[in-house]
Amino acid sequence: MLLALDTSTRYSGIALYEEGRVLLEYTWQSAHFHTRHLAPAVERAFAVTDTTPADLEGIAVATGPGSFTGLRIGLAFAKGLALTRHVPIVGIPTLDFLAAAQPASDLPLWAVLLAGRGRYSACRYHWHAGTWKAQGDLQVWKLPDLAAALNAPARLCGEVDAEARRLLAEAAPQVEILSPAACLRRPAYLAELGWRRLQQGAHDDPATLAPIYLHFQ
């Protein structure tokens, strides 16, 4: 069994996963209370599924980009549990599992997260060999600059509030902004990507696994 943890932004989530099935998935708006919410959510997940930490075979954790505090809390919790239980840990970029939840398309996909200070972190993906692959590097944009970059037909998912939806729809009408439900980050997809890596024999060193922090100019 694998535990997946996402504390990248004010929206948090956890999942319990075994090959071929999701045992449990929680998402909630944590705001600035990741420390208060995370451990009780994990305890509740074990109780609801009648499992224990002894059943864990691995841990997947979101590595960002995202909130400095949120990422630090999630990574510390995941590393501590992995070391205590002697199980492997894998880090998955947050935008990768946000993109993984979207259906196949010939159009490129933009995955975005709120980055603070009126900025958005964004990465462009294309569908290749049955999965979404990142094209280019993660970038940080102010909303008007992001709208200008969306200069061709595409789809967009992620943390986009009502005002940003309105502005993007006006500035980039050729881009389909996916529904709020489709834009919700699903920790089950984080778990699925993490499980896949573990099955391939890949894992990260808890001592060196680090979050993706954004540095503003």
In tens digits, the chain (217 residues) has pLDDT values of 999 999 999 999 999 999 889 999 999 998 778 889 999 999 999 999 999 999 999 999 999 999 999 999 999 999 999 999 999 999 999 999 999 999 999 999 999 999 988 899 999 999 999 999 999 999 999 999 999 999 999 999 999 999 999 999 999 999 999 999 999 999 999 999 999 999 999 999 999 999 998 765 5
Residue of 84, 68, 81, 93 whose CA lies nearest to 42: 81
Tallying the residues shown for the chain, one arrives at 217
Class of domain 2-94+186-199: alpha beta
* Distance from C-alpha of 135 to C-alpha of 103, rounded to nearest angstrom: 17
DSSP assignment of 102-148 equals SPP-SS-EEEEEEEETTEEEEEEEEEETTEEEEEEEEEEEEHHHHHH
Confirm whether 2-94+186-199 and 102-183 share one CATH topology.
yes
Neighbouring-strand partners of residue 22: 17
Residue type, 40: P
CATH of 102-183, one of 2.60.40.60, 3.30.420.40, 3.40.50.300, 2.40.390.10: 3.30.420.40
Q: Please state the domain extents for the chain.
A: 2-94+186-199, 102-183
Report d(CA 181, CA 69) in Å as an integer.
Answer: 26
The end-to-end CA distance of the chain, in Å, is 42
Give the per-residue pLDDT at 215. Answer: 64
Which strands, in side-by-side order, build the sheet including 175-177?
131-142, 119-128, 109-116, 154-158, 175-177
